[in-house]
Amino acid sequence: MSMVRAPGPPPARQTAPVARRGRPPARNEVWRNGRLAGLAPSDLAARFGTPAYVYDLDVVGRQAAALRAALPPRFDLAYAVKANPNLAVLRHLAGMGLGADVASGGELRHVLRAGFDPSQVVMTGPGKRDEELAAAVDAGLRVVTVESVGELRRLARIAEAAGRPQRVLLRSAVTEAARLERVRLVGDDGAGKFGMGTADLRIAAAEAVASPWLEPIGLHAFGASNVTDAAALAGHVESAVDTARALAAAAGFELRLVDAGGGLGIPYEAHEAELDVAALGARLAALTARLDGDPATRQTRLLLEPGRFIVGPAGAYLTRVLERKQVGGHQVVIVDGGIHHVLRPALVGQEHRVRVLTGSAAGSGASPSRIPVTVAGPLCSGLDVFAQSAAMALPDPGDLVAVLDVGAYGATESMPLFLSHPMPPEIAVRGGEAWVARPRIDPDTWLGWQVGEPGGA
């Protein structure tokens, strides 16, 4: 099988993003004013086929710019690559001057190819292989987050062998509940796979201070995922700073960086509220004023690792209706894409918004009546359902439907080999220009990778 080479992207614009205070006046998302990323859905489907992922890079830029404008200058942003590692997305964010948070050697290769400054890249993750740690040291990353005493010792040996000291953050396993109660390095931190409990934090801090090959500069303390409560997010940052200050004072190192992780959320359903970034920024401004008044934290930088907030609203999964039927008095629509490409609804049990984009059900004329509709995919699995009772006008076969808010944890969180359907392409759009950021991959491709017998095909 020969694969069509994807056309390259249009030249990147060099204009800086417009700084904005607070949240956008209207919801900043890929589907707006009857168009997908500013283009007619039927044109996108005709050109690129269905199903397909569509990413609006202008939305990505506006989300990043709005967040950066709302935060105090002391805060840095490192985009969480796990949310969406597509090269078009990464290059767009690198061009805006953001840092990056990588959690594997593969993600590190992605950001280096995309043009991120290694001195603004941080590495996290609970299970780093020696070769990944060596790649981080060799690249000269801003900092490596250490999740255990054993990992700290492995990193020290690797840095010594390379002859390059490495800056580190120590990751705390203190629970979010404990942080909100302002528990500082005392008591039982509970169980979990991420970070270190109280005793190991102290051991790791002491060893890092004593090592000539490690330079402890602060603490990493992740809170929770997809939080849209500005007060809760700000409270987590405040608690992380308190924990970091106590650890640095006890171990005797200068506190230069506190990484509060990501967790900045987006609404997935119509009734959910957006994160108020203006309120978040105001609360964090009060925190930075407190840090300015303390000699121990006057030079401390703060880091957030947003992923979902920046790219989630920018993505749509474009699919086409194959069939519709009535089952037990309920309307069911079958589309040509499913949870093998968009796993999150089945994985976390939360439906995404589904929109009919074309045909009479799209409401281009008189407002059509809305009824509960089950929107499901083509897989032989009862889990393959996007929405159980989406309120919509009933679409016809051939109509286009979009699953929204899939710019984060979409394509690369999927299980594309299930039932051997083609992998959907990823289409990037910027300023009204669309291109194939990753082409469609047919099952023949991965069939060609397989070997049926020793020494044979």
271: pLDDT confidence band, cut at 50, 70 and 90? confident
Structure-model confidence comparison of residues 214 and 187, the more confident one = 214
Q: Give dist(CA 439, CA 437) in Å, integer.
A: 7
Q: Amino acid letter at 197? A: G
**pLDDT above 50: residue 190:** no
What is the chain's length? 457
Concerning whether 418 is annotated as a catalytic residue, the answer is: no
Q: Give dist(CA 196, CA 251) in Å, integer.
A: 15
CA 406 to chain CA mean position, Å: 10
* Tokens representing residue 315 in the block: 């993505």
Q: Give dist(CA 157, CA 260) in Å, integer.
A: 27
158, 162, 165, 166: CA torsion to nearest 10: -50
Phi and psi dihedrals of 207, rounded to 5?
Answer: -70, -35
C-alpha separations of 124 from 41, 129, 456 in Å: 38, 12, 41
* Tokens representing residue 195 in the block: 């970070």
Catalytic residue among 380, 382, 451, 455: 380
**How confident is the model over 345-381, as pLDDT tens digits?**
889 888 899 999 999 999 755 567 899 999 999 999 9
Read off the pLDDT of each residue in 118-136 and give the average, rounded to a whole number. 97
Q: Give dist(CA 12, CA 91) in Å, integer.
A: 9
Question: How many other C-beta atoms are found inside a 10 Å radius of the C-beta of residue 407?
Answer: 31
Computed from CA positions of residues 57, 60, 66, 71, in that sequence, does the dihedral angle turn out positive or negative?
negative
Q: Give dist(CA 353, CA 154) in Å, integer.
A: 45
The full set of domain ranges for the chain reads: 125-304, 313-448
DSSP secondary structure code for residue 115 in this structure: T
Phi and psi dihedrals of 150, rounded to 5?
Answer: -60, -45
Read off the pLDDT of each residue in 233-253 and give the average, rounded to a whole number. 95
Contacts of 170 (CB under 8 A, 6+ apart): 145, 146, 152, 196, 201, 204, 205, 208, 216, 218, 219, 220, 247
**pLDDT above 90: residue 255:** yes
Q: Amino acid letter at 31? A: W
| Three-state secondary structure readout of 270-311 | CCCCCCCHHHHHHHHHHHHHHHHCCCCCCCCEEEECCCHHHH
Structure-model confidence comparison of residues 184 and 429, the more confident one = 429
Domain 313-448 has CATH 3.30.1360.200: no
Read off the pLDDT of each residue in 7-29 and give the average, rounded to a whole number. 46
Measure the CA angle with vertex 72, ends 79 and 184; round to 5°: 80
**pLDDT above 90: residue 17:** no
Q: What is the pLDDT of residue 11?
A: 41
457: pLDDT confidence band, cut at 50, 70 and 90? low
Cα-only R_g, the chain: 24
Phi and psi dihedrals of 364, rounded to 5?
Answer: -70, -25
Measure the CA angle with vertex 277, ends 146 and 292; round to 5°: 60
Q: Give dist(CA 208, CA 248) in Å, integer.
A: 11
Read off the pLDDT of each residue in 70-97 and give the average, rounded to a whole number. 98
**pLDDT above 70: residue 181:** no
* Tokens representing residue 35 in the block: 């168009």
**How confident is the model over 45-81, as pLDDT tens digits?**
999 999 999 999 999 999 999 999 999 999 999 999 9
* Tokens representing residue 11 in the block: 């030249």
**How confident is the model over 430-449, as pLDDT tens digits?**
999 999 999 999 999 999 99
Q: Which of 98-102, 269-273, 292-296 has the lowest mean pLDDT?
A: 269-273
The pTM for the full model equals 0.90
Looking at domain 125-304, its CATH superfamily turns out to be Alanine racemase (3.20.20.10)
Q: Which of 140, 133, 173, 135 is nearest to 156 (CA)?
A: 133
Structure-model confidence comparison of residues 147 and 179, the more confident one = 147
Question: How many other C-beta atoms are found inside a 10 Å radius of the C-beta of residue 423?
Answer: 21
**pLDDT above 60: residue 215:** yes
Q: E strands, 383-447, where?
A: 385-392, 400-404, 426-430, 433-438
DSSP secondary structure code for residue 419 in this structure: G
Q: What is the mean pLDDT of the chain?
A: 89
Contacts of 304 (CB under 8 A, 6+ apart): 71, 75, 76, 77, 78, 237, 260, 261, 262, 264
Read off the pLDDT of each residue in 153-159 and give the average, rounded to a whole number. 98
Element spanning 105, H or E: helix 105-114
Q: What is the pLDDT of residue 26?
A: 58
* Tokens representing residue 14 in the block: 């060099």
* Three-class SS state of 411: helix
**pLDDT above 60: residue 176:** no
Q: What is the pLDDT of residue 455?
A: 81
Domains 125-304 and 313-448 share a fold: no
**pLDDT above 90: residue 113:** yes
Structure-model confidence comparison of residues 26 and 258, the more confident one = 258
